[in-house]
């Protein structure tokens, strides 16, 4: 099922950012898409660095 274009992302962001339990916390997103949506809600695009898990004995 594809929910793109239905406003679900906007609703979710508004709900999270206005919820009293989390509205004053720092938030970070790790995403590959919808950057424009998150930027509209004050998120800043930053480079994400990843390090794969090491095998035992490495």
Give CA separation, 3 vs 6, 8, 15, 26, 30, in Å: 6, 7, 17, 27, 19
Structure confidence by residue, pLDDT tens digits, 2-53: 888 899 999 999 998 899 998 888 888 878 888 899 899 988 888 777 777 7
Integer Cα distance of 2 and 30 in angstroms: 20
**How high is the pLDDT of residue 57?**
67
**How high is the pLDDT of residue 30?**
79
- Alpha-helix runs per DSSP H in 1-58: 8-18, 35-40
- With bands split at pLDDT 50, 70 and 90, how would you rate the model's confidence at 58? low
Integer Cα distance of 1 and 50 in angstroms: 30
**How high is the pLDDT of residue 6?**
92
């Amino acid at each position: 099922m594809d929910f793109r274009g239905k406003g679900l992302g906007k609703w979710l962001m508004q709900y999270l950012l206005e919820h009293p339990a989390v509205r004053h916390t720092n938030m970070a997103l790790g995403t590959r898409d919808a950057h424009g949506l998150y930027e509209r809600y004050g998120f800043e695009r930053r480079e994400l660095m990843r390090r794969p898990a090491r095998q035992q004995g490495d």
